[in-house]
Amino acid sequence: MARWTPGSRSGIHENILRTNRAVLGMSLWAEEGPWRPELSLFRAIDMRCDDCGRGKRMQPAEIRQHVANGVYSLIGLHDKLHCMVCRARGGLGKNVSVYPIKRGE
């Protein structure tokens, strides 16, 4: 019987990954082949607080800094964002919408 190691994938595991990619339609999973962080696909990211309406655009240098700090996906970045104005007012500031702008658009 073959022993499972963290780096190995079984046929069933491959089918689950393939199904999840098809169902989600998102790059939540690492793709086969040369791997690139999902955030490297975007030239900018627009962010807007849904509570106060404040908006900001994250430029490529800021995106590269997040990738260097270990944030590779849009979902991982969204979890780290907050509105400074709402936090200063005493709120949580976590009601932030993210609008990525892909390279070439």
Q: How many domains does the chain have?
A: 1
Residue range of the domain that includes 89: 43-105
Query: Does residue 66 belong to any structural domain of this protein?
Result: yes
Q: Is there a domain that residue 25 lies in?
A: no
Distance CA 79, CA 46 (A): 15
Q: How many helices (H) and strands (E) does the chain have?
A: 4, 3
Predicted local confidence at residue 18, as pLDDT: 52
Q: Pseudo-torsion of CA 22, 30, 83, 57, nearest 10°? A: -90
pTM beyond cutoff 0.85 = no
CA separation for the pair 84, 95 (Å, rounded): 11
Provide the pLDDT for residue 58: 94
Residues 19-76 pLDDT 10s: 444 444 444 444 444 567 888 889 999 999 999 999 999 999 999 999 999 899 999 9
**C-alpha–C-alpha distance, residues 105 and 95, integer Å:** 26
Query: Does residue 99 lie in a domain region?
Result: yes
Tokens representing 99 are 């609008």
Give a yes or no: residue 13 inside a domain: no
